[in-house]
Amino acid sequence: MIQPRKPSPAESPLLFEIDDEPLQETLTAWGGVPLAVQAFRSLNVPASVRQHVRIKQRERGYDEATMVESFVVLNAVGGECLDDFQHLRDDAGLEEMLGHEVPSPELARQFLNRFHSEEKLEQAREGRKPEQIAFIPEEADALSGLGEVNRELVRELGRRCAEQRIATVDQDATIIESHKREALRTYEGERGYQPMLAVWAEMDAILADEFRDGNVPATMSPLTVAQGPLPHCRRRWTLSTIGAIRPATRRNC
């Protein structure tokens, strides 16, 4: 005798009903953002920014810490350009979670421009040797202050993770292609930039960085990047760099 077949779940009605009345709650597509922001704030980064990064001339508008936090949020959600700030501004739930609105793309662009110093560029250009083409300008005060913020963050990470006694500093330069008029040609031929990063490998944390023009070779003054945070790193460390720079190991720098 043939047993009757069970009804398929696909034959059943859906277990929810569509209500065409709009919801009163505020929704967001970025529910994971508070995790990154909580880490940012619990590590005292806003207070460090207030101390070391001073570019505002008036009290009104976004303060420096709010601007820096907004850029952290933009990176956390995968933003690729300043225009992506508009997508975040369109999300009312995100503003409610953060306690502040993120800046507009134009305001964010103006904020970044305040870290640029044409005077420092001209000084470095004039200070080149006759046979020298590439140069690395000294950082402006605002950019140097942002670097100090990162150093304080690294120190706080080290304090909270005291059991991590080894620090491998992985340093390299990465070509970032750009179509800006100011971008110079890299050794691969395309126009762009070639920033240098020093990463604490065991903690997956950026120790230091240096923004460079595309024509600056990776072997040009590489130790100035890695050695910046090392005096604050009371650990056995290994420096692993690129090219002809020999890896070195030291203790309790």
pLDDT digits (tens, 9 = 90+) for 216-244: 988 888 777 877 665 455 566 666 655 43
Q: Is 108 exposed, middle or buried (0-12, 13-18, 19+ CB in 10 A)?
A: buried
CA distances to 90, 136, 249 from 166, in Å: 44, 31, 11
As a whole number of angstroms, the distance between CA 56 and CA 205 comes to 28
How many angstroms separate the CA atoms of 238 and 69, rounded? 31
Angle at 189 between CA 186 and CA 191, to 5 degrees: 60
- Split at pLDDT 50, 70, 90, the class of 76 is very high
State the pLDDT at residue 97.
Answer: 93
pLDDT at 74: 97
Res. 202: pLDDT tops 60: yes
Helices (H) and strands (E) in the chain, counts: 9, 8
105-113 and 64-76 helices cross at what angle (nearest 10)?
120
Q: What is the mean pLDDT of residues 118-128?
A: 88
Structure-block tokens of residue 215:
């024509």
